[in-house]
Amino acid sequence: MSLGSGADKSGPAMVRYSTGQIWIGRLLKVVYRLLGLFSDLVFGLAYNNRTEPLPPIRNMVLLESGVSLARMIRKGKLKSEEVVRSFMERIREVNPILNCVTEDRFEEALAEARGVDKLVASGERSEAELERDTPFLGVPFTAKDSIAIRGLKHTAGLWARRHCVADEDAAVVRQLRKAGAIPLAHTNVPELCMWWETSNKIYGRSCNPYVTTRITGGSSGGEAALLAAAGSPFGLGSDIGGSIRMPCFFNGIFGHKPTAGVVCNAGQLPLATGELDTFLVTGPMCRHAGDLLPLYRVLAAPNLHLLALDRRASPSQLRFFIMEDDGGFPLSSPVHADVRGGLQRAARLLEGAHGVRVRPLRLRALFHQLEIWAHKMGSVTEAPSFAAELRERCGAVRPGWELFKWCLMLSDHTLPALLLALTERRLPADTESSRDFLRMCEALKAEFEATLGDDGVLLYPSHPTPAPYHLQPLFKGFNFAYTSIFNVLELPVSQVPLGLGSWGVPVGAQVVAARGRDHLTLAVAEELERLAGGWVCPSKIE
């Protein structure tokens, strides 16, 4: 059944609601709002704004961008070994507080760094040759645990895989190695990457570096927390419903969700089957917007012909649009004043700096963004059930029985994973309603293409609220729809930080462009970093 609001949402590619559906939608909206307010009160009292501060930053190497570090290493002004040691020490400082790193390869990374330093010192290759062929030579990086790094455990947060070690690198790790970068560590994820708080039965829960009683997001939550805490220059994330963008938003860093089908997903867990491999994307995460484009060039190297990354996009020549919410869907929280304020500030800064007009946009189908995503995901019939994924596709867990065991603290699975396994097949397949939402998805793709074209971008909330408290996503479980819709629309999105809000945690915005126009969102991300300040360090700098 579709969920109505108080208004008739009929129109092109829209659903016309019956009176009964409208009233159900109104009731659900009230219940969801009350549940959200109740959880705000209870968790606010329970945590009482407690936080554990991070150690100060005394090593200025930690504050440099990946591009800057690579340049200094090529020029011989900085040793790769020194860079690797700097981030090793920072990880050892922050990880006891944030619990974001699951396993490291420090000794191997140091050995590889020494090899880089010998190469640079030998003079066998010119600085220009090193920049051309290995643009990130000697720079360490990290990746979420679901992306394979040879020799490290590859668990995806699944208890049954707690001893599994990757025997080869994921495709994106190979690309970064080819560019000269050095893998340093794996970072924490939720169980099988299918929840937006990072916690699992193997490694436990990761914490937000700004306020440690709040979440890091998921599924690339450990990665985002580490990057925000200056524990790595840049990292790798993956995204099928917002798993790059939500953590980047909650932790105040930059991230990019590429156009679908550009970056190879091979070597990741869970395996993306059929059309899911289109919805799943892999992309860069970093503190400095200037790293996004060079990293994306490396990751997308086999498919650069699908993009226009060499085309310079000037913000003064772009058309800007803004939407501040989804139109009031019953199962989405109201957009918080801090999030709206961040969007409005970004619009004002762009208008003031470039003389452009940021025009309000209304795409009515985005009211249904959760339903569109859910039906689109559910239409992939060749993919195994999540219950089967929890058993590594060897049979399937019995969600009801596992939920009973969870209540007795005997289950090897997390509550969000069991709830997903329990409810995943509740959506009716191949019904007229389902077909309506699939048609709506295609119509919305066409509407985005027509509206944004070759020179338009949309500013859109990354999430209705800044980072909630630990466990609170269970009471606001559908808010991920603000990011997930763009996976099934296959559009490029850059996540941009816009300072800190009233809760002491970051706010930010998604910058969306038409398919294949990634260069537009990346250009706007760099400009908004210049105008709004970008990443805010969660530690004192001494």
Enumerate the active-site residues. Answer: 144, 219, 243
Longest pairwise C-alpha distance within the chain: 77
Amino acid at 157: G
Side-chain half-sphere CA neighbours of 192 within 13 A: 25
Q: Cα separation of 134 and 115, whole Å? A: 14
Q: What is the DSSP letter of 359?
A: E
Q: Which two tokens stand for residue 531?
A: 């105008």
Q: Cα separation of 272 and 266, whole Å? A: 9
Q: Tokens 């296959």 sit at which residue?
A: 490
∠ Cα 75 80 495 (to 5°) = 90
Q: Is 305 exposed, middle or buried (0-12, 13-18, 19+ CB in 10 A)?
A: exposed
- CA-nearest of 266, 267, 238, 237 to 148 is 267
CA 380 to chain centre: 22
DSSP string of 62-81?
GGS-HHHHHHHHHTTSS-HH
Q: Print burial letters for 221-232: b (CB count within 10 Å at least 16), e (below 16).
A: bbbbbbbbbbbb
Name 182's bridge partners.
140
Q: Print burial letters for 429-461: b (CB count within 10 Å at least 16), e (below 16).
A: eeeeebebbbebbeebbebbbeebeeebbbbbb
CB-based contacts of 431: which residues, under 8 Å, 6+ apart? none
Q: Cα separation of 511 and 315, whole Å? A: 12
CA distances from 312 to 82, 293, 298, 317, 510 (A): 35, 11, 18, 11, 20
CB atoms closer than 10 angstroms to residue 28: 16
